[in-house]
Chain A
Amino acid sequence: MAQTLPYQQLTTCYYALTAVVLPVLAFAVNFFLKKGKAAGWISTIAIGATTVFAAIVFKQQWNAPLIHATIPWFTIGGTAVNAGILLNNLSVLLLLLVNVIALPVHIYSMAYMSHDEGFSRYFTYLSFFCFSMLALVVVDNLVLFYAFWELVGFSSYLLIGFWFTRDKAVQANKKAFIMNRIGDVGLLIAIMVLFSQYHTFDLNALFSADGLVANSTLTNGLWINGTSTIPAVWQYLACAGLFLAVAAKSAQFPLHTWLPDAMEGPTSVSALIHAATMVAAGIFLLGRVYPLFSVHELDALAIIGCFTAFMAASIAITQNDLKRILAFSTISQLGFMVMAMGIGAYASSLFHLVTHAFFKCLLFLVAGAVIHEMQHIRDENKLDFDPQNILYMGGLRRKMPITFITAVIAGLALVGLPFTSGYLSKDGILIQAFEWSDTKAGVFKIIPILTLITSWLTAFYVARLVFKVFFGKFRLSEVNPGLKLHVHDGPWKFNVPMIFLAICCLFPVFSLNPFLYEHAWIYKSFLPSNFLERMNPYHTIIPIALNILSLLVIYWAYAVYVLDKKLPLKQNNWLFAFSYYQWYFNEAYQKVFVQPVLAISTGLFAFDRKGIDGLIHFFNRIILWVAKLSAAIDRYVVDGFLHFVVALVRQIGNFARSFQTGRVQYYLLTTVVAIVAWVILKILI
């Protein structure tokens, strides 16, 4: 370390570095060892050790003054680019979070992937991902940030396409990478704008409390920094680029469609990367560059976040693929976080990031466990069905109690019922959204209201998911009576991580007071904004209204899915078999609630598929078309010009030799004509 840091800080730095480096060592070892079961242990031990270091760093650094340690990396022109780490609350929190999520997932994976041919490859990739992710959170400059930002995407690419012989997986990873690349380009442009304005890549210099960004202003269409002034449009462009990056990584509208497709990867990967860590990187980025955004840009963030949240939730309602439901849910929750950033609820947003990481990861692990069993059934009975379809499941709560319980805890956290972590974080966002809207024009009320509706939709789909999977009867055996069913909870490698994560979904981990999000330690450490005096009525009304209605929704769902056992969608032919009252309820439910929502949902889904994806396909086609066109231009115009020149040269040559008739008198005549022509020319001039 170049700077002289106090010994304490120096060790902290080394610990942090060790935490980053260990996974890459594991990666290297696995990479060169090739096949072998040892890979799982190597990676897991590495991540375990990393977790320990991360915890130490966290302990030492949480709420302590930030540490910024650098070594010179290279010098380009007049700019010395340093490599270093920046440890503040944000980074150490994420450092710990990633590890705490990654460790259970590693353990889980050892069981989950144990029969896969690519076992060691899997852990190689996984370690690489951990390395990239951990490095991403601690690095101190934009170049490195971009580097790891993209490496995270790359490892995600590798993991989504882990089963590379499956066409869908390969399509999905390509899509994911390219969409992320769009975001990367945005980020790159943003970085370049910042660099050209501030001539540095250093995050601390740029974004610290009294950093360069904080001291520059946007006035009269100009972006003024101490040394240079450029048109404000570049500031907008930087923000747009950053937003694009966030949208791509955190699957925000309109770049969200890769995430559902990314579910083609192993479930454990989805749990780690596409639920808890990588997708949160966008939020992390927002947290890092927060000072850059002006008020209007934040408003735009809020709107888009809110819209994404609502849209994804409404889509999640009707999905039947277990992992897709969770994927849309993730998009929705990320939307919450982005919106929270937009409304200035910086602390809540990060808080939600943390809590969400736990419960969503847990949900995926649960899903993985269930799918694992379903696959087992499929293979054992030599059937052909989609093991991820929740319509085939049901009643698993007795077969898989631990899984069930953890699922319920995670689900409740996701819904945001009291005593869970989700309650704490989500509540805060909602309350602050209402408070924020008070300061804005009336139209902005839509945002908190839409958020509220989204919460209820969340409650519904979570309930639907849990009921479909764990309640009622096992629907597959109704269709195939002779089904061999050896369904049970997974091995300890499944259970221990799940239980651990379930514990993390409960309130004591974050706040001793289960009802007041302001008391959460994470929240407190992130300098909450000032307008949250518990004076206003939102703080009472919203939690109560929200939770009561949520419970109501869950009950509806219970009514529909457990008591009814029939999908409300196909009600007409099945209704008479059930009680009138229930039918009436269903009818009402259909008419009043489900159908409109479903309509919106299908509409939005269609929009998602046809509209956004269609648009992307359209762009894709346009690009391909342009590519073909330019290839044609290349062949026919550019090369054609060349061939034309060659033909021209040959024709001139042909003309020149056309005089060469072989007749000597003709030659003489030509010569004489030339001379006489010269004489006449001479006379005329």
Chain B
Amino acid sequence: MISLTHYLLVGACLFCIGLYVALTKRNAIQILIGIELMLNAGILNLVAFGKFDKAANGGQLFALFAIVLAAATTAVALAIILNVYRRYKTIDPNKVDKLKG
């Protein structure tokens, strides 16, 4: 039997690593990967606890929806990143800072 706390702890680590990636990387795609890590932390929690929700199965289904949404978000984000690359010839979000103040 694997303790749920362990899942939570792994999820927390994943979340924080993902957050760190999202905060520090100088590349939009890497940031996106960081975000995926964060999402997976959430999904992990849902799945782990979904074990105890057999009838409604909320956890697992939520995880499924989340995965699909993550995919859609990524698709959209990548399309946008591609666009930015066409305009700015960089995908470092810190160099894309004409809008500020």
Contacts and interface: CB of A to CB of B under 8 A. Distances in A.
A and B touch in the complex (CB under 8 A): yes
B19 interface: yes
Give chain B's interface secondary structure class: loop
A668 B100 CA distance: 15
Contact of A672 (B23, B97, B99): B23
A665 B101 CA distance: 15
Contacts of B97: 661-663
A664 B19 CA distance: 13
A656 to B, nearest CB: 11
Interface string B1-22: 0000000000000000001001
A381 interface: no
Question: How many A residues are at the interface, by size bracket?
Answer: 10 to 19
Given A663-B93, A665-B93, A657 B101 contact: yes
Contact of B24 (A657, A662, A665): A665
A669 interface: yes
Contacts of A664: 93-94
A571 interface: no
Contacts of A662: 97-101
Interface string B75-88: 00000000000000
Contacts of A660: 100-101
Interface string A637-669: 000000000000000000001001111111011
B83 to A, nearest CB: 15
Interface string B51-84: 0000000000000000000000000000000000
Contacts of B101: 657, 660, 662
A666 B96 CA distance: 13
A668 B22 contact: yes
B22 A665 contact: yes
Nearest to A654: B101
Contact of A661 (B19, B22, B100): B100
Contact of A663 (B19, B22, B94): B94
B34 to A, nearest CB: 10
Interface in B3-49: 19, 22-24, 31
Given A665-B94, A672-B23, 15 more contacts: A660-B100, A660-B101, A661-B97, A661-B100, A662-B98, A662-B99, A662-B100, A662-B101, A663-B94, A663-B97, A665-B22, A665-B23, A665-B93, A668-B23, A672-B19
10 contacts: A660-B100, A661-B97, A662-B97, A662-B98, A662-B101, A663-B100, A668-B22, A668-B23, A672-B19, A672-B23
Closest 5 CB pairs of A and B: A662-B100, A662-B97, A663-B94, A664-B93, A669-B23
